[in-house]
Amino acid sequence: MSDPKLDGLVIPKHVGIIMDGNGRWAKKRALPRSVGHRFGAQNFRKITRYISNVGVEVLTLYAFSTENWKRPKEEVGALMKLFHQYLKDSLKDFRDDDIKVVFIGDKSAFDPQLVKLIQETEEVAKDRKGMQLNIAMNYGSRAEIVRAVKSICKDVAENNKDIDSITEADISDRLYTGGLPDPDLIIRTGGEFRLSNFLLYQSAYSEFYSTDVLWPDFNDLEFNKAVIEYNRRNRRFGGV
């Protein structure tokens, strides 16, 4: 089910979204930041379905970064509770959707119950053939690249790979997104113009789109604006 407003436009195969502005959304309404995160999580589900319906093949959403642990303890605790509830709800909400769910990032820092829910969510969705939804949790691109380099070093140390034969593909294949197309479009809500340690290696030639709209207010119309702008860009990939 496509959106007529996007008829005739090129739909990016892989879209990455930095979901920013939950806290500011709540502050503008004199509400606790945790309320902003709750509304952001509700929006997460609506936008995921819409993006799947318009034909995007891969959607990567930045849910929790390796740096987010530095936030106030109460906020991190509220986010962990929200993740628990979201995963329980998503097992019901997405059961009739043809969306494959994959979590990228270091899951070892999460409590065992959350890890179990992550594994259950992935298992239920593993054979689906529709859009792949990557949820980046405890994700940091620099740590991801270090992880890939360590994997290559291990292969070299065990004489499974010659150091002179290492290629860019060897790094790409060992990233969490190995085997997937690089993102065509990175969207950041909340008005900021930085990647914040998100898909740094993969986004070398991604188009970047920033909107002042805060994440809880980001909807299908705002996504369409990003796709329309994407279609105005001339992607040369270093050529003329």
Backbone phi, then psi, for 54, in 5-degree steps? -85, 0
Beta bridge partners, 86, equal none
Q: Can you tell me the distance from the alpha carbon of 31 to that of 23, in angstroms, rounded to the nearest whole number?
A: 9
Angle between helix 73-93 and 33-53 (nearest 10): 30
C-alpha–C-alpha distance, residues 61 and 104, integer Å: 10
96 burial (CB, 10 Å; 0-12 / 13-18 / 19+) is exposed
- Asked if 220 is an active-site residue, the reply is no
**68: annotated active-site residue:** yes
Strand segments (E) across the chain: 14-18, 58-65, 100-104, 132-139, 185-188, 207-210
The single residue listed with the structure tokens 């991190």 is: 76
- Of 22, 43, 53, 68, catalytic: 68
Nearest partner of 64 among 22, 13, 127, judged by Cα? 22
Q: DSSP label at 182?
A: P
Transcribe 15-64 into DSSP letters: EEEE---HHHHHHHTT--HHHHHHHHHHHHHHHHHHHHHTT-SEEEEEEE
Please identify which of the residues 20, 97, 182, 184 carries the catalytic annotation: 20
Catalytic residues: 20, 68
